[in-house]
Structure formats: structure tokens, C-alpha cells
Amino acid sequence: MAKPKKPSSGRPRHVPQRTCVACRETEAKAGLVRLVRTPEGVFVDTSGKQPGRGAYLHAQRSCWERGVRHSLAAALRTSLGEADVQRLMTFFDALPKQDA
């Protein structure tokens, strides 16, 4: 018996879904890295709880590079300076790679 795919309300075990701003695919929040806009620039929100406008990216080079260089600025309604790009790329390079 096929169940309708439409999400129904009131499901207790709902997993929050977020959208990667680079590839636009949705993913459980845990599979994505949150970036947050602050007055000092754009930072990786490792706690996932920093206040401010946030956006999500897959921890994959394709998404990360595309996001940092293109989609992230629009998603956060800001512009990324060279320092922001450097900081975010440095953070990514320190991550364990999932797409090697």
C-alpha cells in the first residue's frame, strides 16, 4: 500500500531539513555546515546556534567552493570579502573530506 508522499503535520520524529545554498539539495541539518553572517564577516558556525542570518553548505569541495565564491553571499544578503573567502576555504581544508 503506497502512502502519500505529502508531509503531514504533527509527526513527532521529524528531522529538520536544510538546503545547501550551492546545490540546492535538502539534507538533514546534521549533514550540512552552517555559515553565519556577523558584523565582522561570514564565519563557520560550528555550534549551529550562533545568532544571525545563516546558510548551509555541504562539507564537499564542489558545494563549498561554489557556495563560498557564488551562492553564499546572496543567501546571506551580504558580500564576502577576500578575508571571508580565505577564512572559509581554510576551514574547509581542515575538515575531514567526504568526497575524496
User: Does 63 sit near Zn ion (CB under 5 A)?
Assistant: yes
Q: How are beta strands 32-38 and 54-58 bridged, if at all? A: antiparallel
Q: Can you read off the three cell numbers belonging to residue 59?
A: 562539507
State the DSSP string of 5-37.
Answer: -SPPTT-TTPPPEEEBTTT--EEEGGGEEEEEE
User: Does 35 sit near Zn ion (CB under 5 A)?
Assistant: no
Does residue 15 contact residue 59 with C-beta atoms inside 8 Å? no
- What's the closest the beta carbon of residue 74 comes to Zn ion, in angstroms? 15
Question: CA nearest 20: which of 86, 51, 65?
Answer: 65
- Whichever of 83 and 97 has its CB closer to Zn ion, that residue is 97
User: Does 36 sit near Zn ion (CB under 5 A)?
Assistant: no
Which residue has the closest beta carbon to Zn ion?
A: 20
User: Does 33 sit near Zn ion (CB under 5 A)?
Assistant: no
- What's the closest the beta carbon of residue 29 comes to Zn ion, in angstroms? 13
User: Does 21 sit near Zn ion (CB under 5 A)?
Assistant: no
What are the residues binding Zn ion (CB under 5 A)? 20, 22-23, 58, 63
